[in-house]
Amino acid sequence: MTRYSRTGREVPGAATLPDSLPLFPLRSAILLPRSRLPLNVFEPRYLAMTEAALGAGRMIGMVRPRYDDDVNPPLYEIGCAGRITSFMETEDGRYLLTLTGASRFRLEDDDLTDEGFRVGRVDWSPFAMDAYPDPEENPALRERVLELLIDYLEEVGLKADWDSIEGASAETLINSVAMSCPFEPDEKQAILEAKTLCDRGQTLIALMQMAVAESSRDAEDRTERLQ
């Protein structure tokens, strides 16, 4: 069995980030620092992954496959590690987890364990600032995201919990929208790889603008075909 190291970089208010960690490849979701991601784990190899993580630091690396049509497809280089902050085992043997984002990482290499899950050797240094919340609010960025979010949700037919959004910080708002809205997988990867919170917000704004514009063009095309 491949083991993974528990030594690594210290971060404020958290345990040491390991040099390697078990990987959970999931194409449809991203995790961002200080955000929470619920997971329903049921495949045997990922049940084993969860048990390994619980026994050594409770850290899992969320990283996205480049495509879905393979058992162990190539992975994107950038992922985000999360700490298991809630855990429940169901009667039918599934694990219900919540991961809280700790820091993004660059994946240097990975190995397949005997249990079938992958363990990656990671470099945290490109994202050293992930350990620190953004020191200043950015009201202009926050308001621009909110303004576009209203139009975007209307176009895609979704609703939002505006009571919780009203008091959210720029970081919380941007991360929540990025993780929950139905962007394309590669668009979510672009959000994940944006270097700073401001870059992440600008990427999110651009994606919402493109989605609204595309939806409007589709509506115009349907109207023209009906005339």
Across 12-16, 40-44, 103-107, 195-199, least confident range: 12-16
The pLDDT of residue 109: 95
pLDDT level of residue 2 (50, 70, 90 thresholds): very low
Across the range 91-117, mean pLDDT stands at: 95
Report the pLDDT value the prediction gives residue 8, as an integer from 0 to 100.
54
Radius of gyration of the chain (CA): 19
Q: Map residue 124 onto helix, strand or coil.
A: coil
Q: Is pLDDT at 125 greater than 60 in this prediction?
A: yes
Taking phi over 0 as left and psi of -120 to 50 as alpha, with beta for the rest, 124 belongs to alpha
**Short-list 58, 50, 108, CA closest to 78:** 108
Q: CA nearest 202: which of 169, 168, 177?
A: 177
Residues with Cβ within 8 Å of 91's Cβ and at least 6 positions away in sequence, in order, are none
Segment 95-118 mean pLDDT: 96
Residue range 116-128: mean pLDDT, rounded: 95
Q: Which of 153, 134, 116, 151 is nearest to 200 (CA)?
A: 134
In tens, the pLDDT along 193-211 reads: 999 999 999 999 999 999 8
pLDDT above 60 for 220:
no
Q: Which CATH superfamily is domain 8-129 in?
A: LON domain-like (2.30.130.40)
Scanning the chain, the segments in alpha helix (DSSP H) are: 44-54, 139-156, 162-166, 170-180, 185-193, 197-226
For residues 67 and 28, the answer to whether their CB atoms sit within 8 Å is no
**What does the domain layout of the chain look like in residue ranges?**
8-129, 139-226
Mean pLDDT over 116-139 rounds to 87
Question: In 3D, which of 34, 83, 31, 39 has the Cα closest to residue 57?
Answer: 83
**Of 110, 148, 115, 135, which Cα lies nearest the Cα of 25?**
110
Per-residue pLDDT, 78: 97
- Report residue 138's pLDDT band, with 50, 70 and 90 as the boundaries: confident
More confident residue, 28 or 221: 28
pLDDT at 225: 52
Annotate 61-96 with DSSP letters as a single string. EEE-BS-SSSSS--B-SEEEEEEEEEEEE-TTS-EE
pLDDT average, residue stretch 175-184: 89
Q: Which two tokens stand for residue 34?
A: 């200080």
Lowest model confidence (mean pLDDT) among 80-89, 179-188, 216-225: 216-225
